[in-house]
Amino acid sequence: MVDTFIHPSAVVEQGAKIGDGVRIGPFSLVGANATLGDGVELLSHAVVTGHTTIGPGTRIFPFASIGHQPQDLKFKGEVTTLSVGANCLIREGVTMNPGTAGGGSKTVVGDNCAFLANSHVGHDCVVGNNVIFSNNVMLAGHCVVGDFAIIGGGAAVIQFARVGAHSFLGGMSGLENDLIPYGMALGNRAYLSGLNIVGLQRRGFSRTQIHDLRRAYRLLFAAEGTLMERVEDVAAEFKDHPTVVEIVAFIREGGKRSLCTPRGSPES
């Protein structure tokens, strides 16, 4: 192991796989079935256990608990996994749980994500790339979070919900329905309050792309017809607009939750 540092007070169990340049700080624990990629850093008092893989360059701060058994009373000790991508930031007190046999047996977190203090990723979740969880975010089991989504402080997402790519869920919100890609939801219980315009502008979406999304949004959540009728109309009109096509595909795919809609809409 090249340039790897393990503090004398840390415990690295036999069988753990440690990459080059890993730094394991005081009073940390790495379990026998854990894998730390090159350049991973555990600052101090951090635990990585279970069948857990941490991608290169990820930093884990004190009192994070990564890979302990899922918080599911149906769990019977089966072998399940947790995979965390490269260059993630996992701050103090964060918890991430592996999957369960009833949910696919794996939890997956992508690259370049930030999980701020005391946030939680439940069992069998799939979290995309470049996602941000602010402090105290609670993601229940079986959720899917798309790339570049941002979840504000203290927000809670119900099990089996989907949070679309490039969306924004406001702080202290309680999301019990699916949030469309590029959408913004606020409140407890959360309602769809528009598009994540500021986020789109910050990530370099063009004025034309944003204009197309605005038009499609107004049509999707208009008062006329049923939601699926409006979806088909939007799909036909915007078939050459990739951002709108992504929203249409998300709605068509469906899930175990209803769709998060604006206040006062026919579907709300």
Report pLDDT digits (tens) over 30-88: 999 999 999 999 999 999 999 999 999 999 999 999 999 999 999 999 999 999 999 99
Task: Report the pLDDT value the prediction gives residue 267, as an integer from 0 to 100.
Answer: 74
pLDDT confidence bin for 265, thresholds 50/70/90: confident
Report how far residue 142's alpha carbon sits from residue 175's, in angstroms, rounded to the nearest whole number.
14
Q: Name the residue ranges covered by the structural domains of the chain.
A: 5-142, 201-253
Task: Report the pLDDT value the prediction gives residue 268, as an integer from 0 to 100.
Answer: 62
Average pLDDT over residues 218-229: 94
Of these residues, 124, 154, 164, 183, which one is catalytic? 124
Residue 229, judged by CB atoms within 10 A of its CB (0-12, 13-18, 19+), counts as exposed
Of these residues, 37, 55, 141, 183, which one is catalytic? 141
Nearest one of 2, 54, 3 to 28, comparing CA atoms: 54
- Secondary-structure class of domain 5-142 per CATH: mainly beta
The verdict on whether 68 is a catalytic residue reads no
182-199 tens-digit pLDDT:
999 999 999 999 999 999
Is 80 exceeded by the pLDDT of residue 1?
no
The verdict on whether 57 is a catalytic residue reads no
128-170 tens-digit pLDDT:
999 999 999 999 999 999 999 999 999 999 999 999 999 999 9
Paired with 42 in beta bridges are: 24, 60
The verdict on whether 99 is a catalytic residue reads no
Report how far residue 11's alpha carbon sits from residue 71's, in angstroms, rounded to the nearest whole number.
24
Cα dihedral value 250, 253, 255, 260, nearest 10:
30
- Name the residue with tokens 């701060």: 61
Architecture of 201-253 per CATH? Up-down Bundle (1.20)
Is 80 exceeded by the pLDDT of residue 234?
yes
Of these residues, 123, 142, 166, 241, which one is catalytic? 123
Q: What is the mean pLDDT of the chain?
A: 97
Distances (CA, A) of 70 to 50, 83, 234, 244: 10, 14, 41, 36
Percent over 70 (pLDDT), the chain:
99
Task: Report the pLDDT value the prediction gives residue 87, as an integer from 0 to 100.
Answer: 99
Nearest one of 116, 154, 113 to 137, comparing CA atoms: 154
Q: In what order do the strands lie in the sheet with 17-18?
A: 17-18, 35-36, 51-54, 81-84, 106-109, 126-127, 144-145, 162-163
